[in-house]
Amino acid sequence: MEKVEVFPTVAWSAGPGCHGGCGQKLYVKDGQLIKIEGNEDHPFNQGRSCPRVLALTQYMYHPDRITQPLKRVGERGEGKFEPISWDEAYDICEQRMNAIKEEYGAEAVIFAQGTGRDIGGPISFLTYSFGSPNWVQLGLSGQSCYTPRLGSMKAVMGDFAVTDCSQYSEKRYNDPEWKVPETILVWGQNPPNGCPDAFMGHWIVDCMKLGSKIISVDPCHTWITTRAAQHLQLRPGTGGALALGMLNVIINEDLYDKTFVENYTYGFEELKARVQEYPVDKVAAITDVPAQSIVAAARLYANSKPGALHWGVPVDMEPEATSVAHALICLWSITGNIDIPGGNVIARPAYGVTAYPWSTEELVKLYGKDLVTQLNKKRIGADTYPMVKNFRGWAHPDMCIDQIDTGEPYPIKGAWIQTANVLGGQAARARFHYDALKKLDFVVVVDLFHNPTTMALADVVLPAATFPEKNSFRAWWAPLQIIKKHVQVGECKTDWEINFEMAKRFNPEGLKQWDTVIDLFNERLAPSGHTFDDISEKGGWVMPGEGPFKPYNRHEKGYLRADGKAGFNTETGKVELYCKQFEEWGLDPLPRYVEPPQSPISTPELYEKYPLIMITGSRTQLFFHSEHRMIPWLREKEKDPFVEVHPETAKQFNVYDGEWVYLKNDMGRVKRKVKLTRRVKPGQIQTRHGWWLPELKGSEPELFGLWDYQINTIIPGPQCSSSGFGGGQYKTTLATIEKMTGGDS
């Protein structure tokens, strides 16, 4: 019997899903993972793990896992696939994609990813090697996940920022330089339920144990709201008004940081004038938050030094998301809480290492100005939305699907879909996506399991690896980490390996400088002065020291700007409360509030017909989006898709706890089991997204129960924001509850 060996590595994507970068210990015996637990020596998670990591053995060795490349043999949707070799799979992809390129141009193939797992690097690399400008988070209406907030931060303050929970220090909470935030304003996030965007939710809990008070902004009651000093229970989608109301109080009551405002902000007088349009009573009427609570929260936050602001994806799902983010940036800036210990700390990729482009500057750095300029000419949405054009390299999701549908202004014929269950969870208007994507000539899906997307669309399915099966690296904030392969399952390959091989086939000349994926990693890691192997020898991660990549007060030390002067990395050198970049792009240079496209106020007639505000997609530790429904340890804790209904609402609709009902609007209806709870307000309901049932038939028309359970069947689109970023209507759709009759069950 061979002995058990223990290896440290980093969990990033396949397995738990996730944007986090936690350290985990793999227990390997006879080449198999037999157990996993959190690495207590790792500064990110200090030994903690989520249930999805703990269930990893069930995920990796699941009988349904795809472990060989597959070729469709029946009609699309029949669910008939046959195993083929990797060589054959690569050959088919190369030949079919090149055929499309020859006839219609490289732009006729789109490259679609899901959320920020370990995918941005490999997929952008492949997209550009093929020569297509259309790299897209397909279906994510308005790119409504972090990108609106990131784009706004880049435009307004030239950098990104996150709540400082000491994550930039190896010593973490024991670092004497760090301060416990006095108050954390948690805006649309329930920290224990997920680790969003390279941030470990539990850090907030740690801060609470050390004394941080919480103000939470959430329409529902959650773990964090019930432990908050103040809970602002706003109507979904009205955060923009609330933020402006709080700014109104802070400015009019003189609670802002005068020195910081004077030295480091631009356009304070204009902001001051704008917030006069949002007096507290008016904001109370818009948001349903009592005026005295808005005032109290504004005072508590402004009087806390340091105070931090931690936000979640509902900000991106507001109609004018980039404007809401702008207002929140104004909050942390005029209170002087940016770039200080325990406030909002500037977040840069560790050592400036980029796996994939966060900004257009980085895009140019990685791929050269010529390629970027040339690609921008054809990139879907770049002409329509200057902000989309000028931030990151993504095509616009809603415009992409419209173009796939119409073929205008040029046809799209193929799709490479990798780490995205477009039909099963990501896309709003799911049926429209289904119909449009069915028109494509050739579709590759790279995934680990069959799901509604592979079944309905794939011509070729390529089996991807989980994190213990892969080599990769991670520079998404700090530390700089490597992920190291320790096991192999079937013939699965990593996204990097697959895309590297395909990229070489499409662009042999351009890529001849790299023989292996590790060579490519080493080039990307070069700015850190480290190689893949030496980071591995050091235990798998390195933390940047003093300089542009380490907090604090970098704006005073001159670390933020290319010219080395003090200030922020914007044209004015200041945080632009009045944002000149927005002005140049034809957007409102000051934050403003816009009512959601469907709401009691904007669509009163629709509201009469569909009198419930439906919030969707509140995260659970058990699942990552549409993943994990087949994992026994996780699924047993949440067997059925439920809808949270307040007892008063239940009475109004004459439904009882446990009853199966339809959630319905003009787009269709979806089944849910009623869960009576006071977590939601009367008149609002909450249900999770990403539901399909792996235990049902996968072929058409069932598609694993997709059309019965996929809530995005009734989520409308396209996005409604003027910047092109934000405004996916995932948290603010109107619906009603319909009782089932007769044979329905």
Ligand X SMILES: Nc1nc2c(c(=O)[nH]1)N[C@H]1C(S)=C(S)[C@@H](COP(=O)(O)OP(=O)(O)OC[C@H]3O[C@@H](n4cnc5c(=O)[nH]c(N)nc54)[C@H](O)[C@@H]3O)O[C@H]1N2
The residues that touch ligand X, with contacts defined as CB under 6 A, are: 13-14, 17, 19, 114-115, 117-118, 140, 145, 187-190, 193-196, 217-220, 222, 234, 236-237, 239, 312-314, 418-421, 424-426, 446-449, 451, 464, 495, 615-619, 621, 623-627, 689-690, 711-712, 715, 730-731
Q: 702 by DSSP, 3-state: which?
A: coil
Binding mask 166-205 for ligand SF4 (x = CB under 6 A): ----------------------------xx----x-----
CB of 659 to ligand SF4, least distance (A): 33
29 near 35, Cβ under 8 Å? no
Q: How buried is 668 (Cβ within 10 angstroms: 0-12 exposed, 13-18 middle, 19+ buried)?
A: middle
The three-point CA angle 482-486-492 to 5° equals 100
**Residue placing its CB nearer to ligand SF4 in the complex, 50 or 334:** 50
CB 203 within 8 A of CB 195: no
> Under rule CB under 6 A, which residues in 498-557 are in contact with ligand SF4?
none
CA distance 235 to 220: 9
Query: Which of the choices ligand X, Mo ion, ligand SF4, none does residue 708 contact, using the CB cut-off of 5 to 8 A by kind?
Result: none
Q: How far is the CB of 202 from ligand SF4 (least distance, A)?
A: 8
| Partner from ligand SF4, Mo ion, ligand X, none binding residue 181, C-beta < 5-8 Å depending on class | none
Nearest residue to Mo ion on Cβ basis: 145
What would the x/- binding string for ligand SF4 be over residues 295 to 324, using CB under 6 A?
------------------------------
Residue 430 to residue 730: CA distance in whole angstroms:
12
Q: How far is the CB of 50 from ligand X (least distance, A)?
A: 6
Stretch that binds ligand SF4, among 18-26, 124-132, 170-178, 496-504 (CB under 6 A): 18-26
Q: CB 54 → ligand SF4: shortest distance, Å? A: 9
224 binds Mo ion (CB under 5 A): no
Torsion angles phi and psi, residue 11, rounded to 5: -85, 110
Quote the least distance from Cβ 703 to ligand X, whole Å: 13
Residue 200: name its binding partner from ligand X, ligand SF4, Mo ion, none (Cβ under 5 to 8 Å by kind). ligand SF4
Q: Look at residue 196 and give the partner it binds from Mo ion, ligand X, ligand SF4, none, a contact being a CB closer than 5 to 8 Å depending on partner kind.
A: ligand X
CB-wise, 115 or 225, nearer to Mo ion? Answer: 115
Distance CA 331, CA 247 (A): 6
Contact status, residue 696 vs residue 428, Cβ threshold 8 Å: no
* Angstrom distance (rounded) from CA 72 to CA 81: 4
Q: Which is nearer to ligand X, 204 or 388 (CB)?
A: 204
- β-bridge mates for residue 613, sequence order: 684, 734
CB of 50 to ligand SF4, least distance (A): 3
**215, 274, 270: which is closest to 240 by C-alpha?**
274
**Number of residues engaging ligand SF4 in binding (CB under 6 A):** 13
From the list 718, 721, 146, 101, the residue with the least C-alpha distance to 378 is: 101
* 200/577 with CB nearer ligand SF4: 200
Both structure tokens of 28: 């390997």
Q: What is the distance between the alpha carbons of residues 665 and 660, in angstroms, rounded to a whole number?
A: 17
Q: Could you tell me the smallest distance in angstroms from the CB atom of residue 709 to Mo ion?
A: 20
560 binds ligand SF4 (CB under 6 A): no
Stretches 8-16, 114-122, 220-228, 272-280: which one binds Mo ion (CB under 5 A)? Answer: 114-122
How many CA within 13 A on the CB side of residue 342?
Answer: 23
**Strands 733-739, 612-616: parallel, antiparallel or unpaired by DSSP?**
antiparallel
Among 113, 115, 581, 649, binds Mo ion (CB under 5 A): 115
Q: Which is nearer to ligand SF4, 128 or 203 (CB)?
A: 203
Question: Shortest Cβ distance from residue 115 to Mo ion (Å)?
Answer: 4
Q: Rule CB under 6 A: is residue 151 a binding residue for ligand SF4?
A: no
DSSP 195-241: --TT--THHHHHHHHTT-EEEEE-SS--TTGGG-SEEE-PPTT-HHH
Prior bond of 718 cis (ω within 30°): yes
Task: Say how far apart CA 378 and CA 176 lie, in whole Å.
Answer: 51
Minimum CB distance to Mo ion smaller for 115 or for 132: 115
The most distant pair of C-alpha atoms in the chain lies apart, rounded to whole Å, by: 75
Angle at 25 between CA 189 and CA 527, to 5 degrees: 75
Q: In Å, how far from its chain's centre is CA 340?
A: 26
Minimum distance from residue 224 beta carbon to ligand SF4 (Å)? 16
Considering only the stretches 13-21, 544-552, 669-677, 718-726, report the one whose residues sit in contact with ligand SF4 under the rule CB under 6 A. Answer: 13-21
Q: Least distance in Å: CB of 611 to ligand X?
A: 18
- What x-and-dash track marks residues 126-155 binding Mo ion by CB under 5 A? -------------------x----------
User: 25 forms bridges with which residues in the sheet?
Assistant: 8, 37
Q: Show Cβ contacts of residue 346 under 8 Å, excluding neighbours closer than 6 positions.
A: 159, 160, 161, 338, 339, 551, 554, 555, 560
Residue 478 within binding range of ligand SF4, rule CB under 6 A: no
3-state helix, strand, coil in the chain (%, to 5): 35, 20, 45
Q: Beta-carbon neighbour count of residue 586 at 10 Å?
A: 11
Which lies closer to ligand SF4 via its Cβ, residue 184 or residue 195?
A: 195
Residue 49: which of Mo ion, ligand X, ligand SF4, none does it interact with, CB under 5 to 8 A by kind?
ligand SF4
Q: Which of 14, 16, 289, 315 binds ligand SF4 (CB under 6 A)?
A: 16
Among 9, 11, 653, 720, binds ligand SF4 (CB under 6 A): 11
The one among 20, 43, 397, 540 contacting ligand SF4 by CB under 6 A: 20
To the nearest whole angstrom, how small is the minimum distance from the Cβ of residue 630 to ligand X?
10
Binds 349: which of Mo ion, ligand SF4, ligand X, none (CB < 5-8 Å by kind): none
| Kind of pairing between the strands at 472-474 and 480-483 | antiparallel
Residue 299's SS3 state is: helix
615 binds, among Mo ion, ligand X, ligand SF4, none (CB under 5 to 8 A by kind): ligand X
Q: Which is nearer to ligand X, 569 or 721 (CB)?
A: 721
Q: Between the CA of residue 535 and those of 352, 467, 664, what are the distances in Å?
A: 16, 17, 53
Which residue, 14 or 228, has its beta carbon nearer to Mo ion? 14
Radius of gyration of the chain (CA): 25
Identify the CA nearest to 716 among candidates 406, 398, 424, 451.
398
- The SS3 call for residue 320 is coil
DSSP string of 630-653? T-HHHHTTS-S-EEEE-HHHHHHH
Q: Which residues inside 46-105 make contact with ligand SF4, applying CB under 6 A?
A: 49-50, 52-53
- Quick check: 123 binds Mo ion (CB under 5 A)? no
Tell me the CA end-to-end span of the chain in Å, nearest whole number. 51
- The answer to whether residue 489 forms part of the interface with ligand SF4 (CB under 6 A) is no
Binding segment for Mo ion (CB under 5 A), chosen from 113-121, 495-503, 515-523, 641-649, is: 113-121
Q: Does 115 bind ligand SF4 (CB under 6 A)?
A: no
Q: Cα separation of 317 and 326, whole Å?
A: 14
Return all residues near 78 (Cβ < 8 A) that are at least 6 apart: 699, 700
Using CB under 6 A, list all residues that contact ligand SF4: 11, 16, 18, 20, 22, 45, 49-50, 52-53, 194-195, 200
Positions in the binding site for Mo ion (CB under 5 A)? 115, 145
